[in-house]
Chain A
Amino acid sequence: MKTDELIRAMTADASRRSMPLDTACRLAGALAIVLAAAAFMVTLGPRPDVLASLETVRFVFKFVVTLSLAASAFALLRILARPGAETRGYLPWLAAAPLLLAVAVTFELFAVPSSHWASRLVGVNSLVCLTFIPLIGAAPLVLFLLVLRHGAPTRPMLAGAVAGLLAGGLAAAFYAAHCPDDSPLFVATWYSIAITGLAVIGAFIAPRIVRW
């Protein structure tokens, strides 16, 4: 087939249209929230004192850090799914959540005597955390990888990692409503391990399923 013949075939195929990538991204984002919420409510549910806890800084901060990770990863994912889109303006935002967390850890180290650091870090719920953040994030990760498949990422491994961070941030925000460990020391340790796990899985899978 010559190139102009190929063009003829593609022109005849012009009426066939796919969902715009932006629409697919928004749809996947909304669906991911619904699925993560469902998985959370079925398996864990919020802790009994969830409303009263909203008045404590440490509890609220868990949502600030996880949601800022999810928001920055979502913005970056939309860029990475599109060829030629400029990532430079978005990539630094990914550092927002880790920086917030670092600041919170610093405050915590000043606020809490050093004899309590270890118990705060270990917490009581680390295994639940390591189990349920990936579990709640699994369906969102699948959705975001499908979005990448629908798109055309020129850096599929990076895009897959960002999809994992997004799924992890979202799952962690739900999980935070259940977990009784509110110390930034706990969040910085166990949440980070769980979310990084999802990012690694995303980075591993994306190049294999996103072929275009």
Chain B
Amino acid sequence: MNGRSERELADLLRIAIAGDERCYAAFLDGVSVLVRAYVRRKISHGGVDPEDVVQETLLAIHLKRHTWRPDEAVLPWVYAIARFKLIDAFRRRGRRIEIDVEDIAETYAQPEVETVSDRDIGRALDTLAPGQRSVVAAISVEGRSIEETARQFGMNETAVRVALHRGLAAIARRFGQD
């Protein structure tokens, strides 16, 4: 999928916040394309894995989506989060970088072609408590629904949702530590 426009993404996120999962998936997908292009342009050589920063940014977007105001543009918000996560990643690796705000503007115009990373970061899952890990893995890696996961582990759906949410929050915290 190509990079989507500001308007498309804002519409998708608005509908997603109202509770539409398919629009939310489309939003995150579209955002990941833009963020990947942005991050790859900024990371010219080793030290930081671009896909790590993409995932950190997506998680932050997910966990902090209540900070977006539906009457405002979504791309400046997305890129501010990506930039923050990128700088954070560099800082953790003990390097200093400068990012011009102007650089972000050109990213709006020309998103790069998406190439899906095959990288597997099972280690993010490995750090979770066993209960959370099996729930997050069932839903993400195995692609099961909340209902199927609940049945598989003999849990009720609320418990599955709680474990999933806490698991994602724990992964986000873990990202910030390594």
Contact = CB atoms under 8 A, between A and B. Distances in A.
Nearest to B19: A15
B84 A154 contact: yes
Contacts of A55: none
Interface string A66-99: 0000000000000001111100000000000000
Contacts, number: 123
B67 interface: yes
Interface stretch (B2-10, B40-48, B105-113, B116-124): B116-124
17 contacts: A1-B122, A2-B118, A3-B54, A4-B29, A6-B59, A10-B28, A10-B58, A13-B62, A16-B165, A82-B68, A83-B67, A84-B77, A84-B79, A85-B77, A151-B64, A152-B60, A154-B84
A123 B161 CA distance: 60
Interface of A: 1-22, 81-85, 150-152, 154, 211-212
Nearest to A16: B165
Nearest to A82: B67
Interface residues of B, number: 57
Q: Which of A2, A12, A13 has the most CB of B within 10 A?
A: A12
Q: Which of A1, A16, A18 has the most CB of B within 10 A?
A: A1
Interface of B: 16-17, 19-21, 24-25, 28-29, 32, 51, 54-55, 58-60, 62-69, 72, 76-81, 83-84, 116-122, 124-125, 136, 139-141, 143, 145-146, 161, 164-165, 167-168, 172-173, 176
A122 B106 CA distance: 57
